[in-house]
Amino acid sequence: MKAFVLCGGRGTRLIPYTNTTPKPMLKIEGRSILEYVIANLKRNGIVNIILTVGYLKEQIIGHFGDGSEFGVKITYLIEQEELKTAGSILPGKGLVKEDFLVVMGDSIMGIDIAEMAKQHRHSGAIATLALKEQEMYFEYGVVDMEDGCVKHFREKPKIDYLANAGMYMFRHKAFEFIEKVGGGSVCDFAHDVFPALLKQGEKICAYTFKGYWVDIGRIANYEKYRGKGVLKGIMGKDFASL
């Protein structure tokens, strides 16, 4: 199986860090985020990787080259303009002949991709999304009303939910929907492709994983995870094997 890793975005939520560095090249514990992403794919047996690059692409291409130094084979898709998540992989349609994986270039995950693929094939779904159990606490107390009267009062309740972790597995025919929805160009998975697939009656399944999920999409997250020893503690043996 081949994997697309999306690295072309501007990373506006991480300004000023991304003013001179593309988001996937920001460093934690001496390594770029993208190095962790690629190491996870390699650990799962995925060594044919397609990087979509745009903003400050020279830094990514210059560092990773053809991937041989990292034990993988890397091909690049260069965005002349930002095409969003789904649009960025369209030029790579001819590079894959079977099911394929899409991974965000700013998420480090401890996930068994082989198990995800097994479930994906068995389900017959056109797409399978990796989901991670999360919890959130409301900032305020919550009041339940009935006929103008207070029935229940919950002080800052905890809500459990499943978060989209930013890893998708697709049948090859998904490219047809991406082309239709985006008109062959700008198109986003979450806002455009997945709603279109569901509207067409296509089956989308979920794979819930128990391992770690480190999302570096916001300044607060990046500053937390780049603290000395934080990521190492989260990744455990995966970090030690790098």
Instruction: Say whether 92 sits in a helix, a strand or coil.
Output: helix
Range in 7-16, 82-91, 136-145 the model is least confident about: 136-145
Domains of the chain: 2-130+164-240 (3.90.550.10)
Ranked by mean pLDDT, which of 39-43, 134-138, 151-155 comes out on top?
Answer: 39-43
Predicted pLDDT of residue 150: 85
Give yes or no for residue 18 having a pLDDT over 90. yes
Sequential DSSP letters for 23-56 = GGG-EETTEEHHHHHHHHHHHTT--EEEEEE-TT
Least confidently predicted of 4-13, 108-117, 137-146, 170-179: 137-146
CA distances (Å), origin 76, targets 53, 79, 92, 208, 233:
7, 10, 9, 30, 32
pLDDT at 121 over 70: yes
pLDDT of residue 237: 93
Query: Is pLDDT above 90 for 148?
Result: no
Looking at residue 142, its pLDDT comes to 83
What is the distance between the alpha carbons of residues 7 and 215, in angstroms, rounded to a whole number? 14
- Write down the pLDDT at residue 82: 86
Instruction: Kindly give the pairing relationship between strand 31-32 and strand 27-28.
Output: antiparallel
As a whole number, mean pLDDT of residues 156-185 equals 88
Average pLDDT for 208-226? 95
Q: Rounded mean pLDDT of 70-85?
A: 94
Number of Cα atoms under 13 Å in the Cβ half of residue 124: 1
Given a cut of 90, is residue 157 above it in pLDDT? no
Q: What is the mean pLDDT of residues 7-20?
A: 95
Torsion angle defined by CA atoms of residues 155, 158, 159 and 161, in that order, rounded to the nearest 10 degrees: 170
Asked if the model's pLDDT at residue 77 lies above 90, the reply is yes
Block residue for tokens 């303009």: 81
Confidence at residue 184, expressed as pLDDT on a 0 to 100 scale = 62
The pLDDT assigned to 129 comes to 98
Check residue 242 and give its pLDDT. 83
pTM over 0.85: yes
User: Can you tell me the mean pLDDT for 123-127?
Assistant: 97
Tell me the per-residue pLDDT of 28-46, one tens digit each, with 9 for 90 and over: 999 999 999 999 999 999 9
